[in-house]
A = this chain, B = another copy of it.
């Protein structure tokens, strides 16, 4: 601890944290001005150490940090934590100071965690260079944690303590000048004590590194649970204010996390309850849940929650009913969800196994269940004073441990509400390796998260540049492409485009309309006019020669009314009726690059914001998953009497669009097909917009009438 005196609160926290985790090694205080600290002699500088220490926790003020780094380098200390604030998070000046500090660290071969961070703890290694309170007792366990907000660490540890959720490591990240959250994620994926990873994220960071780590985690069977903040505009401002980081568009963030099979939660309770379920319990392989409770009200609450999460509560098999019924009072029904009734509570003779235990014995054998939610775990405030009662109760818990271990399906014990375990309850359950989920609300939600994680395993997005889009496209145009060029691009790539011809007179329009088919649609073509229908540049449903002729005159007049618009001609295409119109577009996200947006057209996108997003590239399977996420999916399946769309064929076309967008290697601004028309297995781009990076930025101002 460099710069630690008796009056430093941070130092006192480090001393206390080290004691809490049982840190065995020496904790040396370095201070130039105090001869003793915390009752022990200090050394004046790191240079005065006989041997280099493993880690220097630099508590010195910001202006002294670099000198300490010099000392560390000279003393052969290779790792440091920098606590001081006043760097990148305060703006431009701080950023320069931080760059200078990092350069100094590199010169001296020191790796820095922080600055502006509170250190870390490793419960298994009993190490806690951690300048915050550690609530006692700290249980060592499967949950690895990295936090982009250090002050949350004690909040997170306090909740974990309350629910006996064991922690492997917890790291506060600070400004991530040399060690990033993703570096810690990488470490936790490989750490053998960590079985599940919790992240508090203000920003995603390097997408390629995240994707690589997420893929490794998915393969290793280590779920990642992330509380990613910034879903609200105000939240984004808050994130900006205190770390200086740039939060991405939240809908894209959501898509990215889904692609990486990272479970996204919105509260600390959800973060830890979900992690505990995945870290302690066996994972359910399916959605069919057996429910065993001692309260009808609990059955109701669980059933409602399960329904919201898409978890099924099927009827018990007849043999399960037959096995359970004899253990219930006559007025209780052997149904799923099961209420064994409070009758058991009043049975004065404490017995080795209670009705809910017998029900568990039967339910785990039910072939129709994928897992059993068990709310019959006893964890009283204190050990029952009557020794025989205590012995029987503790025997029941030991029985449960064995029963769970030998059960063919996972048994998930759950508490009623999110209340703390008592000290006695914690010790008893811990001894028998039973983890109790923190109440029905968080428990059911955690199970929902876990099921989605299990279901999405095996197809984690490989990242932004997996090498499968080797072909790079030469840009034939820049700014807004002409209608013809855009249509050619799609045709060349294999995307079906509606038959159409570019004409330059009313006579040509009539002839073209006869060729492509009536009724026809006419549209003015000009790179300078983006929203054609708003200015009368589109004429639809032209069923006769005369109508086509009149339509031609109309759209040309509309085009001429736009000052400076260069008219390329008029596009004559056949009208498509029936079927369903989609929007499929690729835009560039400043943080994540090309993003594919899919939605049903019209109100679906404009009013309902019903779109599915993915960062590119994606394959056809993933595009099909996008389609199934749309609220308008029933329309594609034929809900309003239309022909059900061929979703596989549709997904293939959209995948080609995405690959086409990727082939521009960053030179693309937008590629949008709107509408993309589908009628059964007939898929066609009715209109397409392509915008690429301009050679000359001044030329590209769109006329948006």
Contact = CB atoms under 8 A, between A and B. Distances in A.
Contact of A235 (B231, B243, B303, B634): B303
A232 B307 contact: yes
Interface size range on A against B:
35 or more
Given A417-B158, A634-B607, A639-B606, A230 B300 contact: yes
B296 A337 contact: no
A640 to B, nearest CB: 7
Contacts of A416: 152, 155, 158, 268
Interface stretch (A326-334, A457-465, A488-496, A669-677): A326-334
A155 B268 contact: no
A389 to B, nearest CB: 12
A152 B439 CA distance: 13
Contacts of A365: none
A151 interface: yes
A118 B342 contact: yes
A234 B303 contact: yes
A322 to B, nearest CB: 17
Contact of A346 (B13, B149, B342, B639): B13
A407 interface: no
A453 interface: no
Interface in A1-55: 6-10, 12-13
Contacts of A260: none
A335 interface: yes
A298 interface: yes
A419 B238 contact: no
Contacts of A13: 345-346
Contact of A231 (B307, B349, B418): B307
Given A242-B333, A416-B268, A439-B269, A297 B640 contact: no
A291 B243 CA distance: 18
A230 B342 CA distance: 21
Copies in the complex: 2
Contacts of A232: 303-304, 306-308
A90 B345 CA distance: 20
Given A307-B231, A335-B241, A606-B640, A9 B348 contact: yes
A640 B607 contact: yes
A267 B305 CA distance: 9
Nearest to A231: B304
A483 to B, nearest CB: 24
A296 B155 contact: no
A300 B606 contact: no
Interface string A286-297: 000000001111
A233 interface: yes
A297 B148 contact: yes
Given A85-B331, A232-B308, A342-B150, A301 B7 contact: no
Given A151-B297, A331-B86, A640-B606, A303 B346 contact: no
Contacts of A329: 85
A227 B341 CA distance: 20
A162 B420 contact: yes
Contacts of A330: 86, 90
Contacts of A332: 242
A335 B239 CA distance: 12
Contacts of A218: none
A339 interface: yes
Given A337-B234, A416-B268, A346 B295 contact: no
A43 to B, nearest CB: 22
B441 A267 contact: yes
A432 interface: no
A348 B11 CA distance: 10
A313 B234 contact: yes
A268 B234 contact: no
B420 A331 contact: no
A246 to B, nearest CB: 14
Contacts of A367: none
A531 B107 CA distance: 82
A299 interface: yes
B346 A10 contact: yes
A242 B339 contact: yes
A230 B304 contact: yes
Interface string A410-422: 0000001111100
Contacts of A152: 295, 297-298, 416
Contacts of A335: 237-238, 241
Interface of A: 6-10, 12-13, 85-86, 89-90, 94, 118, 131-132, 135, 147-152, 155, 158-159, 162, 200, 202, 227, 229-235, 237-239, 241-243, 266-270, 294-301, 303-308, 312-313, 329-333, 335, 337, 339, 341-343, 345-349, 381, 416-420, 439-441, 602-603, 606-608, 631-632, 634-635, 639-640
12 contacts: A13-B346, A149-B295, A158-B417, A162-B419, A229-B300, A230-B304, A232-B306, A238-B299, A241-B299, A242-B299, A266-B301, A266-B305
6 shortest A-B CB distances, which residue pairs?
A: A149-B297, A232-B307, A9-B346, A151-B295, A229-B300, A242-B296
Given A269-B418, A269-B439, 6 more contacts: A9-B345, A135-B381, A159-B419, A241-B335, A607-B631, A607-B640
